[in-house]
Amino acid sequence: MKTTQMLMQFIRFRPGLYAVDAVLVLSGWLLFLVPAYVGNHYFDSLSRGSSVSTEVWWLVALLVMSIVARILLMFANFYVDETFRHSIGSLLRKNLLSHILKLPAGRALLGSSGEAISRFREDIDESAEYLTWHGLLDVVGAAVFAVVSLVLMLLINVKITLVVFLPLILVAATAHMAGKRIDKYRRISRQSVGQVTEYIGEMFGSVQAIQVAHAEERVTKRFRELNDQRGRATVRENVFNSLLSSVFANVVDLGTGAILLLTARSITDGSFTVGEFAAFTYYLTWIAQLTRRFGMLTARYKQLHVSRQRLTTLLQGAADTELVRHGDVYLKGEFPEVPYVEKRDEHRFESLDVTDLTYVFPETKRGVENVNLQLKRGSLTVVTGRVGSGKSTLLRTVLGLLPQQSGEVRWNGEAVDDPGNFFVPPRAAYISQVPRLFSDSLKDNILMGLPEERVELERSVWTAVLDHDLQQLQNGMETMVGPRGVMLSGGQRQRSAAARMFVREPELYVMDDLSSALDVATEQTLWERLIEQRGEVTCLVATHRPSLLARADHIIILQEGRVVAEGTLEELLQTSEEMRRLWDGD
Amino acid sequence: MSFQEYRKMLGQYLLPHRGKVLLLFLVILMGSGLQLVNPQILRFFIDTATSGSGQVNSLINAALLFIGVAILTQGLTVLVTYLGDTLAWTVSNTMRGDLFAHSMRLDLKFHNNHTPGRMIERIDGDVNVLSNFFSQFGVRIVSNFLMLLGMLVFLTYTNWGIGLTFIAFTGVVMFMLGKIRFFATPFWTESRETSAKLFGFLEERLSGVEEVRANGAVAYVMRRLHELNRLRLHKDRRAFLAAGVTWSTTIGMFSLGTALSLALGAMLYANGTLSLGTVYLIYAYVNMLRAPIEQISQQLQDLQKASASIRRTSELLGTKSALVERSGRSIADGALQVDLDNVSFGYSEEERVLHNVTLTLAPGKVLGVLGRTGSGKSTMARLLMRFYDVNEGGVRLNGVDVRDASLSEVRKRVVMVTQDVQLFSGTIRDNLTFFDPAITDERILQAFTELELLEWYQALPEGLDTRLGPSGGGFSAGEGQLLAFARVFLADPALVILDEASSRLDPATEQLLTRTVSKLMENRTGIIIAHRLATLQQVDDILILEDGRIVQHGEREVLAHDPESRFYQLLRQGMEGVLV
């Protein structure tokens, strides 16, 4: 998709709205012709007679009316223009986010979220703005104005008009040649913006560690360095752009000088009137604005090109037409229902067979290789191993959160093609090693869109052993948990995430080290309640908790991404050196 | 937000650069002066041409002069951009740095309420708006006002009647502008807040994609996005319409001025007071006025946006840490004695997490803390780090109340490792040293050696330059904890607090760390919070907390052999594999 095609898609998304916007902007610009008409006839009328004619009063009244009309137009224009701009911005954000949420979740973003935000903010806002009154439409309006004035000027005096307009062609060529540099400067300055926003996000995400290390000053120093880099890059870009637009403006000032030179003779003999001169200079002042605007627009077009590429990168290789795929953006009317999938027979779990599963991180070359795994309904399977042995990677690859590089996953004997979309509630739910909560109420964090009246919120909270905490929290379920859940303790966060999983009543529970923030008694309670409530549960758990190892029906030991032993605890303690080491810690 | 506050902020940040400001001002002054010259050339041109004396040569000279002035004006424009932008970036970067430094030092209660995405918006988004304010506002307002002034002087000089009329007119316009200037500010504040909300939402969801996917919450997240998109449209549209009120008032008044000048010019020409060239001069000045007044109006809109940002920025700068630094007493060197003196504390006024906790830990001793989740263990640790201040009682290190010592003193002497290790995007070296160039690679390697991490380190593709992904991506939570231990070794504190620091480690690795932990505790005071008894084999004292109260405290050796003690019972249960 070319940048122009992207813009066409924007227009096709809301053609009616854009047409109204365009008509309003054009009308606004055409009103600017009125003062030229007024000036022309005013001076001619003055030089004709020695008393003030009624024509002069009419001209003054006309001027005032044109301004009133312009103000009224402007309010309508703001309304329409903003609506169009936000329709496009909303569409881009919707398409981008929904695409990211379709990618294998563990690899959905290759940079930081802070860096991605600079694309969701600057690049999208800029793309959405390009076509509007703040961008293209204004230039089109100015161009229409210029064409009309050109015709009017030609009617007055052909020779002078041509001499004034010729240099403009030269300038268009200059702008074209400068294009590459605009592009380059833009890229550099944008990149430095991304670095700065990423740095702020990352550092404030680690603020506690920084305060513990008493590193506030050093971290700030580094921030100031990054800022200076960005400052330099941006100043260079702006000065270059200003130089360019100044070339444009200068050509028109030279044009005015040329009129003076050419009319030096004809104005004395009266073949070119003062009124016409006034109209000419008026037109030129505005045409100067056109060229300046046009220069800005060319620069912004290059910038838009960069923005489009930066947005496309987030799609990770998908067709970039995804960005502009048309669909409702819900800026008015009913919001879409959040569908609730009730558990039916088709979701029932019998068995899961994983064969030869491989995923290796491209950056660190670590991961899991050729792992086989079988789960039966009602069993507890534990994956264990040392730090960095690949336990989490295995669970995430099975669930499709990481894209498997080879192997097969079969659910009830049937191959799963798209595990990322298949292993969702009510089939499976997952709790990560460091569960994320969002800055919403506790209830919203647990439900995450489930209809409260159709699920058993209270029982899930009880199963997750969160009932006691809930009584202590001042606002109970409505307590706001703060960004990433920081208002809760580590254990509370983990149990909230557990409640989030339980309330979905999945057939298969996948838990990555659920108990690391729980004390043994709480963990015991949790397991007892889970079994008591759900009866036959199937669990796939990564842990090295002795109590869970003892409870497991089957244990898989990973070492450097490969299965080195499996069986029950009893068997493994006899046969596996690694198991004994993990069990005793020797 | 009053003008004084603007002035204060401008003064504070611009004063150190007054040389550059002055230079910029001079260049603008020259530019404005030149712009005023051209209509005078035109007046001369018209009057000479219509006088019929036919001096073509002097007309051509006037035309050439006009061209020369135009070229010079353009050169000055570029210079103004360069000077203005450099100044704006220097100043706004200082401001960004100050905001960053200030926010970094705020207490955790503040950070608990502000997402990193929102901090991006506050530190970068708001100051971006201000940067425009610094680079454009002052420059344009000043240059446009000077143009205005110059024109008024010329007009008065040409004809005092017209001059006085337009001076009065300008006064009225200024007054009206002053009246409506802040009309749209609250709308812009709302608009920016909504935008911060939207991007905070996106930042959190983008960093929690796994949670969203695996819990089947994609549709829910998309719906929330739609809601925020719509809210942003409504707020922005309202803000633009409100700004339109300001803008249209300016334009409306200005058009009256144009009409006035045409009417007056016609009458004075008719009675022979003015030449046609002079009427043209007035017309030209008035047409020139259009641009500066529109620019002033535009700048005032920006000022409205900026004043919302300025308000939020000065609000942020005015946010005081809840931790007041008093006298900055220094804490004596060496291992610390820790005293908790009747400490009560709660995160909010209503609920207490700790009740009347009194405790002494002798220098060099290691205390093991046990208790169920939520019993107040971590809270106690946070009080020792002075992340929060106690509600009642006092926390003392070597006899000095932490509230009397400077924060930097406390944080230099006390180091804590928590279960959630915060890693950031950057190299391993940066993550360990936090950009401290004084920490050499040798020292880091030494720390790795002590932690028996050399083998792990050697497997890293690029050694200390290996990059971690965002939020420590690419490394397991367990590895993160090992790095956190290395941070402690490098910090060399006098009191080490391990808050369930090894809970994500497997027993084999943890066993390995037990040796290094005891090495770490040599000549230091230590507090180890754990829910696994195995972690507490080497501690001197034991403390058991329940619902924020001490239920047992004593020497480990004594308690371990006292069948009546809670610890003894725990140990027995521990033998059966049920640990707490």
pLDDT at A288: 67
**Would the CB atoms of B248 and A63 count as touching at under 8 Å?**
no
Task: Please count the CA atoms within 13 angstroms of the CA of B365 that sit on its side-chain side.
Answer: 18
Structure confidence by residue, pLDDT tens digits, A85-115: 999 999 999 999 999 999 998 888 877 787 8
pLDDT at B571: 77
B231 in a structural domain = yes
CATH number for the domain including B509?
3.40.50.300
Are residues B503 and B366 both part of a single domain? yes
Q: Does B302 touch chain A (CB under 8 A)?
A: no
CATH number for the domain including B140?
1.20.1560.10
CA triple B408-B413-B418, angle to 5 deg: 95
List the single residue in B204, B247, B416 with the smallest CB-CB distance to A212. B416
Find chain B residues with C-beta within 8 A of A65's C-beta. Answer: none
Backbone φ and ψ of A402, nearest 5°? -120, 140
Closest-CA distance, B155 to chain A, in angstroms, reads 19
The tokens for A511 are 């838990």
Are residues B232 and B356 both part of a single domain? no
Q: Report whether pLDDT(B506) > 80.
A: no
- The confidence band for B508, taking pLDDT boundaries of 50, 70 and 90, is confident
Q: Does B109 touch chain A (CB under 8 A)?
A: no
User: At the topology level of CATH, where does A345-584 sit?
Assistant: Rossmann fold (3.40.50)
Are residues B386 and B295 both part of a single domain? no
- The confidence band for B474, taking pLDDT boundaries of 50, 70 and 90, is low
Strand, helix or coil at A351? Answer: strand
Structure confidence by residue, pLDDT tens digits, A171-205: 666 766 776 777 788 778 878 888 888 888 888 88
B483 or A61, higher pLDDT: A61
Rounded Cα distance, B540 and B556, in Å: 6
Residue in the block written with tokens 């996948």: A510
**Would the CB atoms of A268 and B49 count as touching at under 8 Å?**
yes
Rounded Cα distance, B95 and B102, in Å: 10
Are residues B235 and B373 both part of a single domain? no
pLDDT at A444: 94
Structure confidence by residue, pLDDT tens digits, A435-486: 889 989 999 999 999 999 989 999 999 999 999 888 888 888 999 988 878 7
Structure confidence by residue, pLDDT tens digits, B71-123: 888 888 888 888 888 888 888 899 899 999 999 888 888 888 888 878 888 88
The tokens for B419 are 């279960």
Q: Report whether pLDDT(B578) > 60.
A: no
Q: Which domain holds residue B40?
A: 3-318
**Would the CB atoms of A82 and B199 count as touching at under 8 Å?**
no
pLDDT at B31: 85
Find chain B residues with C-beta within 8 A of A489's C-beta. Answer: 373-374, 378
Backbone φ and ψ of A536, nearest 5°? -85, 100
The tokens for B215 are 């819990």
Task: Please count the CA atoms within 13 angstroms of the CA of B328 that sit on its side-chain side.
Answer: 1
> What is the pLDDT averaged over residues B475-494?
82
Find chain A residues with C-beta within 8 A of B269's C-beta. Answer: 46
Q: Does B246 touch chain A (CB under 8 A)?
A: no
Are residues B499 and B406 both part of a single domain? yes
Closest-CA distance, A202 to chain B, in angstroms, reads 5
Find chain A residues with C-beta within 8 A of B421's C-beta. Answer: 209
Q: For residue A462, what are the CA distances in angstroms to A446, A500, B500?
A: 13, 12, 25
List the single residue in A224, A500, A546 with the smallest CB-CB distance to B577. A546
Rounded Cα distance, A582 and A400, in Å: 28
B555 in a structural domain = yes
Closest-CA distance, A312 to chain B, in angstroms, reads 16
B462 in a structural domain = no
- In B, residues 395-434, which contact A (CB 8 Å cutoff)? 408, 411-412, 415-416, 418-426, 434
Closest residue by Cα to residue A98 from A309, A322, A317: A322
Given phi > 0 = left and psi -120 to 50 = alpha, else beta, which region is B349? alpha
Q: Report whether pLDDT(B238) > 90.
A: yes
Cα nearest neighbour of B61 on chain A: A261
B533 or B445, higher pLDDT: B445
Closest-CA distance, B368 to chain A, in angstroms, reads 15
Are residues B54 and B97 both part of a single domain? yes
Q: For residue A163, what are the CA distances in angstroms to A146, A158, A159, A270, B11?
A: 15, 9, 6, 20, 50
Find chain A residues with C-beta within 8 A of B259's C-beta. Answer: 60, 63-64
Are residues B232 and B296 both part of a single domain? yes
Q: Does B284 touch chain A (CB under 8 A)?
A: yes
Structure confidence by residue, pLDDT tens digits, B314-353: 888 888 888 877 767 788 888 889 999 999 998 777 778 8
pLDDT at B576: 37
Rounded Cα distance, B80 and B74, in Å: 10
B114 in a structural domain = yes
Structure confidence by residue, pLDDT tens digits, B172-204: 887 887 777 778 888 988 998 999 899 999 999
List the single residue in B54, B97, B487 with the smallest CB-CB distance to A213. B487
B580 in a structural domain = no
Are residues B408 and B549 both part of a single domain? yes
B19 in a structural domain = yes
Cβ–Cβ contacts within 10 Å for residue A585, how many? 18
Find chain B residues with C-beta within 8 A of A274's C-beta. Answer: 46, 50, 276, 280
Structure confidence by residue, pLDDT tens digits, B533-562: 777 777 899 998 888 888 888 888 888 888
**Would the CB atoms of A71 and B101 count as touching at under 8 Å?**
no
Are residues B159 and B106 both part of a single domain? yes
Are residues B74 and B211 both part of a single domain? yes
Strand, helix or coil at A383? Answer: strand
H-run or E-run covering A242:
helix A216-266
Q: What is the ipTM of this complex?
A: 0.87
Structure confidence by residue, pLDDT tens digits, A306-355: 899 999 999 988 888 999 999 999 999 999 999 888 889 889 999 999 99
* Residue pairs spanning A and B at CB distance below 8 A: 525
Rounded Cα distance, B527 and B371, in Å: 14
Task: Please count the CA atoms within 13 angstroms of the CA of A316 that sit on its side-chain side.
Answer: 14
**Would the CB atoms of A264 and B49 count as touching at under 8 Å?**
yes
Closest-CA distance, A13 to chain B, in angstroms, reads 17
**Would the CB atoms of A474 and B50 count as touching at under 8 Å?**
no
Q: Does B492 touch chain A (CB under 8 A)?
A: no
Q: Report whether pLDDT(A249) > 70.
A: no
Q: Does B537 touch chain A (CB under 8 A)?
A: no
Q: Report whether pLDDT(A295) > 90.
A: no
pLDDT at A441: 93
**Would the CB atoms of A436 and B283 count as touching at under 8 Å?**
no
pLDDT at B575: 37
DSSP bridge pairs for B20: none
Identity of the residue numbered B461: P
- Architecture of the structural domain at A3-324: Up-down Bundle (1.20)
Cα nearest neighbour of B350 on chain A: A474
DSSP A323: G
**Would the CB atoms of A239 and B81 count as touching at under 8 Å?**
yes
Q: In whole numbers, what is the pLDDT of chain A averaged over residues?
A: 88
B265 in a structural domain = yes
**Would the CB atoms of A70 and B251 count as touching at under 8 Å?**
yes
Closest-CA distance, A19 to chain B, in angstroms, reads 19
Rounded Cα distance, B226 and B198, in Å: 10
Sign of the CA dihedral with A374 first, then A375, A379, and A382 last: positive
Rounded Cα distance, A282 and B284, in Å: 9
Find chain B residues with C-beta within 8 A of A434's C-beta. Answer: 420, 477
Global pTM reads 0.73
Percentage of residues in chain B having pLDDT higher than 90:
11
Rounded Cα distance, A397 and A405, in Å: 9
Number of domains comprising chain B? 2
Are residues B350 and B249 both part of a single domain? no
B26 in a structural domain = yes
B560 or B3, higher pLDDT: B560
Are residues B183 and B239 both part of a single domain? yes
Q: Does B558 touch chain A (CB under 8 A)?
A: no
